[in-house]
Structure 1
Amino acid sequence: MSQLTTTARFDCPLCKKEARVTVDVPEVDWCVEPLSDSLSEDDGEMECDKCREFFNIKIQNSPAGCFIELLDHPEVKVDAEEAPFSSDDPQENEWLNNSIPLRPYEIYIDNYHHLGEVLAECPRGEQYVFRQSAAIIQRMIFAETISSMEAYLGDILQLTVLATPKAMQSLAAKDRELSAEKVALSVILDNPNVVSDKIRIYLKGLLYHNLPKVEAIFKIALNINIFPDEDLKVRLLGFVKIRHDVVHRSGKGKDGEEHSFPAAWVMEVMENVRTFIENIERSIADARIE
């Protein structure tokens, strides 16, 4: 089995520069029952790619995501990409990690309906698990709602941009990171798809909870506004922050106060996210992207 890795980003506490490094992570145990017990943990080291200092880290990998903590600097936030599946077969590995769903909205809306059905059972469910665990189930539904939003954003952006030469051209010319890329002529001759490959890797590596960044990429590449109004944007930014607390602080804010997730509020979040995503769908359709 090939080594599973993630890309981690953090502001180095020593050199104060933004670091981006590849880190080995443990494999999730997908065979265990229940799946909530599949979390794998390990200790390791992570090197800043700017100042070359090493940091001791704790790594957790689970179906919910990959999380890394600097043991000597717990205040430093580390953003780690979800660790992809690994396989000894290069072709299978490529498919597992780079396959883009052809119908991102259908995947999102199917998930939306399933989550809604579970949420409806929480306050009045006859089963013991719903009566005793409604609060934590509602918290999980909230977190999954934001996760499904981020997954949709990544899938629809990659799917649309990579299928649209004008969008790729605009992104390559106007995005600060991509426009700074330098490619040797020999590389272009060897791989005519080098530009689209670099754009694909760039889009795949974006942190889709960074909604202002995602907003800018949609505007540059596709010339569409993803938010129908400023109020919804502000609400979604707040939801993303709360989801961060759920994932990294067991549902507590920086002040230690625990967030609550009543069913009516979670449903409101779900509807806000649906409004956001359906606005993107309409905007892409109206833009008549070619």
Structure 2
Amino acid sequence: MNRASLAGWAFAAPALVVLGVFFFLPVMAALALSLTDFDLYALADMRNLRFVALGNYLDLLQTPIFWKALWNTTYFVLVGVPLSIAVSLGAALLLNARVARFKPLFRTALFAPVVTTLVAVAVIWRYLFHTQYGLVNWALGQLGIGAVDWFGDPRWAMPTIILFAVWKNFGYNMVIFLAGLQAIPQDLYEAARIDGASRWQQFWHITLPQLGPVLLVVGVITISGYFQLFAEPYVMTRGDPLQSTVSVLYFMFEEGFKWWTLGRASAVAFLLFLIILAITAVLLRFGRRKELV
């Protein structure tokens, strides 16, 4: 090994140590736990711990609530991710427009929900969507529409959480899209205008292709984040009504810290990890094919 390689490893060593101690070791420990029946009894006396191999995983696949939680999470991702990306891109396009004024003010205002405390804004949203006293139902009443039980009706609980999550998180992607839009050469738009292209044609044939790598990154980040849905149902609905807002992570939390079946909870975490890994791999492969084309 030459001096350059030794110097590289020396500079990378602190980061590798941090990753090993705070990431790889906990992951390996959780993987080991998922292969055991580690629960409250084993926590009290390690002699009660038994190795069950893939028993936790097989048991989870036969548990109806796990499949319901997986469907709730998938529904949240399928609806929330496209909506979040669309709102983020729309806000970035408005901020990037030449006629836009007070851009720093609006950029700060739109990004503010990202840095606000989730619990605080969740409480405010609960009041806004309150069945009897909420501002949303009051506005619907002015239009002659009856009150909706937003958090008590299984049909509306998850859509309300999706709306909250999109509002809370779209500012992060907006900043990424804004940076991508500002990196597109203006000569392309000028040439398109000279050729008589409409704004929609410019967006479809210039903006979107040029934003391809940015869209891929935003898609991977957003999908990974939305699959880890936990805080919103935990704060706003506690998984109700009728378990319509139980997510995979919320189910894992209850398995681990309500029923103290830590082995099953670790198995849930690794199943979710495999799902996110598979979807991310498909997205990256699709993006790589697009680049080759």
TM-score range, shorter chain: under 0.3
Please identify which structure carries the higher strand content. Answer: 1
Instruction: Compare relative contact order (CA 8 Å, sep 6+) and give the higher one, 1 or 2.
Output: 2
The alignment's TM-score, normalised by the length of structure 1, stands at 0.27
Bigger radius of gyration: 2
